[in-house]
Amino acid sequence: MVKRPSWLGGSRARAHSHAPGSGSSTPQPLAAASIESGHTTLATRSAEKLAPDAAASAKNTKLKRAGGIDAVIIGAGLSGLIAADELSRAGLKVKVLEANDRVGGRTLDRRLDGGNAIEMGGQWIGPGQTEILQLIQELGLDTHNTYDQGQNIYRSTSGSVKRYNEMIPCGIVASLDLLMATRKINSLSKSVPAKTPCRAKNARYYDERSIGTWIDDSMWTFEAKQLFRMAIKAVYAEDAESISFLDLLATVAGAGGDIEQVLSDAQTTRIVQGPQEISQRLAARLPGSTLELGQKVSGIHKVGGDMYEVSTSQGETYNAPVVVITPPRPLICQIDFQPPLPSGLIQYYRRQPMGSAIKFNVIYSTPFWREAGLSGAMINADETSPVQMTYDNSPADGKQGAIVAFVLGNNSRRFLHQYPDAEQRKQIVLDFLVTLFGAQAREAMQVLEMNWTLAPFATGGYGSFNPPGVLTSFEEDERDEMSRVGNLYFAGDATSEIWQGYMEGALLSGRRVASRIVKSFEAPSEGAM
């Protein structure tokens, strides 16, 4: 017997961290693919090339601590808040502007009766994500393992429902097909530099093909092809036909050349108090006047030599020599920059759409499926049904039960079109769960829906992706590690070199930007700190 790739078992998806971020969270399903890869390197190179004078000036001239605001940070997600925390600790005066009425970005928690948190956005943490685990401990938060005991469920392309333990019941030939596909991708990724994917020998060829095209050309069984498409959808919250194959290879390269790290290994751990609590506790330890909620940035204008004026739709203005920009790319493109951003950078951002993710948490009085010997995990190869995957998302104490269900990519768009009424969508999800877990699945206490495509300050989930042809359509030059134009710094999970779409990536990018900004300022005078 051939052991199926581990992500086909009961793997936890790449929750929108990630990311609906990232904030993504969302399934980190196979989902959380979730941050320091080469996806922004091309745009960054364009920015550095098109604005060499500003970049050189920023690198060679130390900024003065003038007593006012030293840095304005746009966005109070994990990237923005960790950057604010690090800058404040270094003695810099920071102002954080958040358009929403809450912190957390694409992490969002709901409180159940009894106080347990349920994750409506990004949520999972995996092996190797050491920075986020250390921060969780530092903030006094607790973790628990994602429940994965018992049999998993497989829904085949024909719609039949089967239970399994180790080997997904898709047939020996389809299993071999999947195994060979994962090995091929691992092998190809070794020739692709994660930070500079366009330098790969066959970069243009890979970039002009979609992942879906590669699947059709390289795999031979319908069942395996559909399963692989489902796995890709779980990672990107988008269909394989919409995503560059080079994007996937760069992502796998950033995960050490092992697609398993992308598809399933990063969903092992959850936060007892909820992932949004990370941002809430970071915000709570900032100086009192640092954070401003309900302030949507509308313009960033250079005024004078080293200063930027940041204006909001609410009529407020803030001046600072440094600005950190963390929102998703579609929102960055809505800001009026004067002088304008380099055309290569802004065009790159405009060509990077966000995925489409709807996350349902179905709440029960108990996790009844566990008594039936089920893990709560389901993988669906049937494109005709809306839900692609489910997982046990029960609180750590097990006093209540929760099944999380994901509707992704084209399925989410069709689902919203066919069922515009929210109550009807909830009923469809319950009907589907009954086919998996029996009549008791209809006895839900609550059905919580989060449509990240309608979240005004997220615009989708889990994060952005590169359509075919985008990566190689911009010239590559030597560049600074971080995306930067003058003293405008771009952070957020999409700018990270590893763990894009995960909280880990958001954290890494925010800390990296903060480190660079601290070094750009003159050292504080004696007694200033």
**Nearest residue to 14 (alpha-carbon basis) of 151, 121, 111:** 121
Q: Is the peptide bond before 502 cis (omega within 30 degrees of 0)?
A: no
* Residues 366/403, Cβ–Cβ less than 8 Å: no
Instruction: Give me the residue label for tokens 């998993």.
Output: 152
Q: Is 297 annotated as a binding residue?
A: yes
Q: Give the span between the Cα atoms of 517 and 322, in whole angstroms.
A: 8
Query: Residue 518 phi/psi, 5° resolution?
Result: -55, -40
Q: List Cβ neighbours of 175 (8 Å cut-off, separation of 6 or more).
A: 2, 4, 167, 168, 224
CA-CA distance, 144 to 130, in Å (whole number)? 15
The H-or-E segment that residue 61 falls in is none
Strands 446-451 and 357-364, bridge-based pairing: antiparallel
43 is in an annotated binding site: no
- Rounded to a whole number of angstroms, the distance between the first and last alpha carbons of the chain is 65
277 carries a ligand binding annotation = no
Q: Which of 47, 27, 90 is nearest to 482 (CA)?
A: 47
Signed CA dihedral, 330, 335, 336, 337: sign only = negative
Map residue 352 onto helix, strand or coil: coil
The C-alpha atoms of residue 82 and residue 259 are separated, in whole angstroms, by: 29
Backbone phi and psi for residue 112, each to the nearest 5 degrees, phi listed first: -85, 170
Q: Locate 506 and state its tokens.
A: 């958001």
Q: How far apart are CA 295 and CA 128, in angstroms?
A: 35
The answer to whether the annotation marks 99 as part of a ligand binding site is yes
208 is in an annotated binding site: no
Picking from 386, 377, 326, the residue whose alpha carbon sits closest to that of residue 150 is: 377
Percent composition of the chain: helix, strand, coil (DSSP 3-state, to 5): 35, 20, 45
Joined together, the tokens standing for residue 8 give: 């086909």
Cα–Cα distance measured from residue 210 to residue 244, given in angstroms and rounded to the nearest whole number: 5
CB atoms within 10 A of CB 13: 40
Annotated binding site: 79, 98-99, 297, 406
Annotated binding site for substrate: 406
Annotated binding site for FAD: 79, 98-99, 297
